[in-house]
Amino acid sequence: MPTPPALVDSHCHLDFPDFAGELGQVVERAHAAGVTRMVTICTRLRNVAQVRAISEAHRGVFWAAGTHPMSAAEEPLATVAELVALAAHPKFVGIGETGLDYHYTAESATLQQVSLRVHIEAARATGLPLIIHSRAADADMARILTEEHRAGAFGCVMHCYSSSPALARVALDLGFYLSMSGIATFPKSQEIRDIFAAAPLDRVLVETDAPYLAPSPHRGRRNEPAFTAHTAAVGASVFGLSLAEFAAATSANFDRLFAKARIAG
């Protein structure tokens, strides 16, 4: 059997209960599918110890941490010092996920914006990339990212990108990256595929957001990092590349943005 091309799952949640009792097998299946590295994201800082331990226990698993915008009203506001301290860990590679979600939690919009700016300051202070979740908040997201970038540069990925072409253009003009998830594989997601087709190839990442958003042909099932290859196959088609070419390009992009994962790996 030919060796699959090396891929990176730039965003997953291996600490979620969906993987309880079989995390070792999940990581093994990812490696067998060519997913040599993955970033597991801590969405509540109270869970840092668990997520950090997962990264320490598994080869090729890195981690990031922040307060998810949907949890902003339920969690203590993170501090810059707290996030900077986490960055001392050798496998800690990103700040977030943070961002704005007005679809489910619009009532905490003001607090979400405060939290987002704290995370941006931590990204500047550490030199690590910001990991952004954005849903139904395009205008505020574009405004805050533009204001903050003008105040001081930072790296950033728009995770699981499924927002408007306009927000994508703002992010790309700021030098940020767009991450393609399983949503791009769904038949009715042509607008998302078109957004990626219009983006520079050197600004694209792939992810699963596992256990959510399993790509076709696994839609409706629990997602896992091994399924990155299905999304990458669609990405390759969008750019008119072979899977190996697209895998190499997105892996190089990951190395550029998440440079600490390349060094620590």
Q: What is the DSSP letter of 2?
A: P
**Contact by Cβ (8 Å): 74, 116:** no
Task: Walk me through the domains of the chain, giving residue ranges and CATH numbers.
Answer: 7-264 (3.20.20.140)
Q: How many CA atoms lie within 13 A of 121 on its CB side?
A: 12
Number of separate helices (H) and strands (E) present in the chain: 10, 8
Average pLDDT over residues 50-74: 97
User: Is residue 263 pLDDT above 80, yes or no?
Assistant: no
Closest CA to 42 of 25, 21, 61: 61
Average pLDDT over residues 38-67: 98
Q: What is the pLDDT of residues 35-45, one digit of tens each?
A: 999 999 999 99
Q: What is the pLDDT of residues 196-217, one digit of tens each?
A: 999 999 999 999 999 999 999 9
Q: What is the pLDDT of residues 74-106, one digit of tens each?
A: 999 999 999 999 999 999 999 999 999 999 999
Identify the pLDDT of residue 264: 56
| Joined tokens for residue 139 | 């205008």
User: Is residue 3 pLDDT above 90, yes or no?
Assistant: no
Contacts for 163-170: CB closer than 8 Å, 24+ residues apart: 163/134, 163/135, 163/138, 164/138, 165/191, 165/194, 165/195, 165/198, 166/138, 166/142, 167/134, 167/138, 167/141, 167/142, 168/195, 168/198, 168/199, 170/142, 170/145, 170/146
**Contact by Cβ (8 Å): 219, 186:** yes
Q: What is the pLDDT of residues 113-153, one digit of tens each?
A: 999 999 999 999 999 999 999 999 999 999 999 999 999 99
Helices (H), the chain: 23-32, 48-57, 80-86, 109-126, 138-151, 165-173, 190-197, 228-239, 243-257, 259-264
How does residue 1 score in pLDDT terms, banded at 50, 70 and 90? low
**Contact by Cβ (8 Å): 8, 254:** yes
What is the rounded CA–CA span in Å between residue 148 and residue 156?
A: 12
**Contact by Cβ (8 Å): 213, 183:** yes
Q: Looking at the whole model, is its pTM more than 0.85?
A: yes
